[in-house]
């Protein structure tokens, strides 16, 4: 028997419709910002949490895009960050000097992942770098970092769904919801 994942959700923070509307607005902004730029637009999806956002965003952007994937470890297991960023899947392209990179992230918490990746891609010689996050928890910031595109500012609560997980579960939920604290033992 499969479990009903929605039983673990305290409340829905963002509905499918709200997310869809916001993704369309962000895509429109990206269209406007990159339409007349020299170089190719490359969306880099940070695995695994950003896959759902990435898929919807790349469909909503109307100018041609290349896609790529990176994986980093920032969280161990559970709900707290290790603060230690390791690149687990690297970018295997040699044309970064021709690429206007937009890093696509699910959520910014401490800010360490995106601060680290931005610096890393700068060192790799990317033509330009911007960051795009669906969710932002500014209250949790440990390093000074602000995204160029941001979907929603949310309170300091642990959320799942639309790609975001708790111990690899709940990614498939189509909405963003606050997890019941009893699920992670609080
Ligand atoms: P940062 O490096 O602390 O900004 O962490 C960003 C990463 O932490 C995200 O890509 C998520 O994987 C994870 N994360 C932070 N907050 C949450 C949350 O509320 N739910 C699920 N994952 C989260
Ligand atoms: Mg994650």
> What pLDDT, on the 0 to 100 scale, is given for residue 113?
95
Q: Rounded to the nearest whole angstrom, what is the distance from the C-alpha of residue 38 to the centroid of ligand 1?
A: 33
> What pLDDT, on the 0 to 100 scale, is given for residue 150?
98
Q: What is the pTM of this model?
A: 0.95
CB atoms within 10 A of CB 129: 20
Ligand 1 touching residue 79 (CB < 6 A): no
**Nearest alpha carbon, ligand 1 atom 11:** 107
> What pLDDT, on the 0 to 100 scale, is given for residue 78?
57
> What pLDDT, on the 0 to 100 scale, is given for residue 186?
65
Domain boundaries, the chain: 16-155
Q: Which helix (H) or strand (E) holds 51?
A: helix 51-60
Q: Could you confirm whether domain 16-155 is CATH 3.40.50.2020? A: yes
Q: Rounded to the nearest whole angstrom, what is the distance from the C-alpha of residue 36 to the centroid of ligand 1?
A: 33
Strand partners, 133: 105, 150
- Give the contacts of 49 (CB within 8 A, at least 6 positions apart): 105, 106, 107, 163, 164, 165, 171
Q: In 61-186, which residue ranges form alpha helices assigned H by DSSP? A: 112-123
Q: What is the dihedral of CA 82, 126, 49, 109, to 10 degrees?
A: 40
Q: Rounded to the nearest whole angstrom, what is the distance from the C-alpha of residue 152 to the centroid of ligand 2?
A: 17
> What pLDDT, on the 0 to 100 scale, is given for residue 84?
76
Mutate to test the pocket of ligand 1, among 46, 47, 49, 84 (most ligand atoms within 8 A of CB): 49
- Residue 180 CA from chain centroid, whole number: 22
Q: Which residues of the chain have pLDDT under 50?
A: none
* 110/137 Cα distance (integer angstroms): 8
């Amino acid at each position: 028997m499969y479990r009903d994942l929605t039983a673990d959700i305290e409340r829905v923070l963002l509905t499918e419709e709200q997310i869809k509307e916001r993704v369309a607005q962000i895509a429109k902004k990206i269209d406007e910002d990159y339409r007349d730029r020299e170089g190719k637009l490359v969306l880099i999806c940070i695995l695994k949490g950003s896959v759902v956002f990435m898929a919807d965003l790349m469909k909503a952007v109307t100018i041609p895009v290349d896609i790529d994937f990176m994986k980093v470890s920032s969280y161990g297991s559970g709900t707290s960050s290790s603060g230690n960023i390791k690149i687990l899947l690297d970018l295997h392209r040699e044309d970064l000097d021709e690429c206007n990179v937009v890093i696509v992230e699910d959520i910014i918490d401490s800010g360490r992942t995106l601060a680290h990746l931005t610096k890393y891609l700068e060192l790799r010689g990317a033509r330009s770098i911007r960051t795009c996050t669906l969710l932002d928890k500014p209250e949790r910031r440990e390093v000074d970092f602000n995204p160029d595109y941001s979907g929603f500012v949310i309170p300091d609560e642990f959320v799942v769904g639309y790609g975001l997980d708790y111990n690899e579960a709940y990614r498939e939920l189509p909405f963003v919801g606050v997890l019941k604290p009893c699920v992670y033992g609080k």
